[in-house]
Amino acid sequence: RAAIEPSAAAPSSPSQSHRPTRLMPVADPHPSLIELHEPSGGQWPGEPLGHDERASALRSLADEVAGCQLCQLCRTRTQTVFGEGDPMARVCFVGEGPGADEDRTGRPFVGRAGELLTKMIEACTFTREEVYILNTVKCRPPNNRNPEVAEIESCRVYLDRQLEVIRPDYIVCLGLFASQTVLRSKLSVGRMRGRFHTYRGSKVLVTYHPAHLLRDPAVKKEAWSDLQMLLREMGITPPSTRKR
Ligand code: URA
């Protein structure tokens, strides 16, 4: 897959290259550029569903996604990759899209990047079963190319509906595509990370995609600092040592 290089879209001048290392939420120096779509204080509509109702709503949606022909990716996929985890999860991890392993198995994040994501989740003291893992697009882009804007926009309705059923307290966006899609932003990962954003009733954290961390392990410490910020916000004392 073509690399998502969070730094590729990063602003070049030092005054713009805002990469906070602080662990607490900070004010963005350019708030007008962020979250124009989502005024803070957004809420999830209606009453939250119980476990069984959520599980059933997600099963129906997964059936719908399995037959989806909204974009050209339906012609090359082996199967759709809907997502998996606890319908009551407090935290959702949103990736980019299925790769070859996911297309073959129908499960998200089961390849090398998935192994690292599992370690990241476990370093947060969670298990994969306790969180919910999903992708921005549900079908593999051929030859591991990046998903196109039209594909992301067609699939967005499913992402939104999944999140609306689960209504997690926290959404962790992994990499550029998830972050820009959920937050409807054009900013780089480097500009979006380091603070909490809002998507409807959820707090949103942006961090690097595990595939990027595999290519550039030096960035792992920044990803870990993002996850520590999440844990603090959740009232969980972050483990002091980084587990890999
Ligand atoms: N596997 C996924 O399911 N999503 C990604 O973004 C990368 C690998």
Residues of the chain with pLDDT under 50: 1-40, 242-244
Angle at 220 between CA 214 and CA 226, to 5 degrees: 130
Given this model, what pLDDT does residue 28 score?
Answer: 39
Pocket mutation for ligand 1, best pick of 77, 93, 96, 134 (most atoms within 8 Å of C-beta): 96
Given this model, what pLDDT does residue 42 score?
Answer: 79
Question: Which atom from ligand 1 is nearest to the alpha carbon of 175?
Answer: 6
Q: Which amino acid is at 187?
A: L
Residue 243, classed as helix, strand or coil, is coil
Given this model, what pLDDT does residue 125 score?
Answer: 97
Ligand 1 close to Cβ of residue 139 (< 6 A): no
CA-nearest of 189, 210, 204 to 120 is 210
Taking the centre of ligand 1 as the mean of its atom positions, its distance from the CA of residue 113, in whole angstroms, is: 7
Pocket mutation for ligand 1, best pick of 1, 81, 121, 135 (most atoms within 8 Å of C-beta): 135
Ligand 1 close to Cβ of residue 82 (< 6 A): no
Dump strand ranges (E) for the chain.
84-85, 91-95, 132-135, 170-174, 197-199, 202-207
Using an 8 Å Cβ cutoff, are 147 and 180 in contact? no
Given this model, what pLDDT does residue 27 score?
Answer: 38
